[in-house]
Structure 1
């Protein structure tokens, strides 16, 4: 639609479209009516106030569909958590792209915490040309790649070895983190959602959760690295509210309505482009 419609006409047309399709999205409406997403949100807010529609994340539905939408969109609680060697083989292109992009957000001389995981390991592989880094990690597999960084200081946290992730966690690790403070922390998560927050899946990994929480407290900026399959997912063990996250680094398959939600919370979303072939 090349020309912008007067707002009253646009409101009427949006309402008719919702009645026809029963569900609409902000991005789609902005494109159809050639206006900003902010204008569409104001339109939906007005229709909602009049009781004609019900707003949902990223769009709107008819009032009678609102309860059904809330039930259907309620996140399933995930507890499945395969071992690192299995997870490392999934979504390889996405994790490689995420790791490369995350490395570009690190400057020479930065002080870092890097959590163990199937995505953060790809960040470490792209740090070889950085200089003067100070890196604290709890990941045993990452050490060999970290040692290749020139003029760097690498610290491996002590603690109990958690076999599924090959990370060190527990009281020894937390005691060590108590004594440090860094500029940036790079962590992986099994699930990220607005309602569920930052979560991990394995119910037996309470020491891993405690270590992640301490990593967050020991840093100025929190960067979460995860592929798009984990976004919108809620897992069993909560780590932190979603607004604790300063940056989300993910791939370009992430849904646009999720990006919108995070941006409304002033979370920076960095999108890694992957080869679609």
Structure 2
């Protein structure tokens, strides 16, 4: 995918990357987020990254968020999406127990990745 390269984070962004993503339809989108909060949803620090992630979510059959325990329960600068817009979260920790009922109502599966 083209766009402005961010070598530090190994990703692209900007208007060209957004334009390209609007033209793609994918089966699964794996997205890394900086914050996952039950009522504020998915957030990240970079506005360009947030816009690109929105397009991935819109054009994917299934959206899967990757977020380690340090991202759960926090909100950062830029909103990406509400939790109801994604299908799954994969984390190294279980969702906070008080989130379980609402995650189920939103149709979000929370999967805990185990070390091998």
Q: Decide: shared fold, TM above 0.5.
A: yes
For 1:173-252, list aligned pairs within 5 A.
173-201=17-45, 205-252=46-93
Relative to its length, the structure with more helix (as a share) is 1
Bigger Rg, structure 1 or 2: 1
| Matched residue, 2:107 | 266
Could you say if the C-alpha distance between residues 254 and 274 of structure 1 is closer, same or farther in structure 2, counting changes exceeding 3 Å? farther
Q: Equivalent residue of 1:235, what SS? A: coil
- Aligned-residue Cα RMSD (Å) equals 1.8
Q: Which moved more, 1:234-243 or 1:157-166?
A: 157-166
- Rounded to whole Å, the distance in 1 between the matches of 2:102 and 2:92 is 16
Q: Which aligned runs of 4 or more in structure 1 are off by greater than 6 angstroms?
A: none
Report how many aligned residue pairs link the two structures. 116
Q: TM-score w.r.t. structure 1 length?
A: 0.39
Q: TM-score w.r.t. structure 2 length?
A: 0.88
Report which structure shows greater RCO (CA 8 Å, sep ≥6).
Answer: 2
Q: Note the alpha carbon deviations across 1:231-272, whole angstroms, 9 max, x for none.
A: 111111101111111011112354322334322322111112
| Per-residue deviation, 1:222 | 0.5
Relative to its length, the structure with more strand (as a share) is 2
